[in-house]
Amino acid sequence: MLIGIIGGTGSQGLGIAKRLAIADFDVIVGSRKEEKAVRVVEEANSDISEYTSNKMVGKANEDAARDADLLILTVPLEAQIATLKTIKEFVKGKIILDATVPLETAIGGNVSNLLHVNPGSAAERTAKFLANEDVKVVSAFCNISNFHLANIPEPIDCDCLICGDDAESKEIASEIIEKIPDLRVVDIGKLEKAHLIESITPLLIGLNIKYKSHYGGFRLTGIDFE
């Protein structure tokens, strides 16, 4: 499967890209500027060369969206709709994993506060904006810190909460995400639950700041998911 990371040159997107490349997926790292994607990917490929012979490629976001089978959106909230506008014509029928978290920083506020958006979550904004494109949006990766992703080859001792309206897309997303060592996917339901997933991220950021960590994560206990 060819996976395209839209806004993949940032710490979250590139961390996901490296982990998935090591897991043997073909990965395109997207950027607004193709030259930037190519440059970033060259260094990223050398970072992971010890763990895989798989090579990521860098492309403009539009080309990544057109060529990939499944997309992962990793841009700040303030860039979300502008970015989706640039790829809209290439996304028909595709699965989009949305890692966007609406942090208050989007309006100059605090990084450990959630910004309330309309509709109720960043993932639903994506679904609403692409409503005519038959896309399947799955909220994913919102609670996984870029430090964990970059800490290769260490396993990631966290749960990755996901939600979405299409069961098959969530199964595909889970199969991909769980190729990253120790990450466990927990499906919390329909896309209308995405605000719950997104709200955990500023909580974790605040705890990381308070306790001087970068690895705050989330593990559910006491529930048998089998």
Ligand X SMILES: NC(=O)c1ccc[n+]([C@@H]2O[C@H](COP(=O)([O-])OP(=O)(O)OC[C@H]3O[C@@H](n4cnc5c(N)ncnc54)[C@H](OP(=O)(O)O)[C@@H]3O)[C@@H](O)[C@H]2O)c1
From the list 87, 185, 96, the residue with the least C-alpha distance to 138 is 96
- C-beta of 53 vs 188, nearer to ligand X: 188
- C-beta of 12 vs 121, nearer to ligand X: 12
- C-beta of 83 vs 169, nearer to ligand X: 83
Structure tokens at 88: 């809209």
- C-beta of 167 vs 207, nearer to ligand X: 207
81, 125 contact by CB (below 8 A): yes
How far apart, in whole angstroms, are the C-alpha atoms of residue 208 and residue 37? Answer: 29
Positive or negative, the Cα torsion across 51, 57, 61, 64?
Answer: negative
In the bound complex, what is the minimum distance in angstroms from residue 102's beta carbon to ligand X?
8
Return phi, psi of residue 29, to 5°: -95, 120
- C-beta of 43 vs 226, nearer to ligand X: 43
In the bound complex, what is the minimum distance in angstroms from residue 53's beta carbon to ligand X?
25
In the bound complex, what is the minimum distance in angstroms from residue 224's beta carbon to ligand X?
27
Residue nearest to ligand X (CB): 10
SS3 61: helix
Binding site for ligand X (CB under 6 A): 7, 9-13, 31-32, 36, 74-79, 82-83, 99-101, 103, 142, 145-146, 201
In the bound complex, what is the minimum distance in angstroms from residue 85's beta carbon to ligand X?
10
Q: Beta strand pairing status for 159-164 and 136-139? A: antiparallel
Which amino acid would we find at residue 75?
A: V
In the bound complex, what is the minimum distance in angstroms from residue 172's beta carbon to ligand X?
20
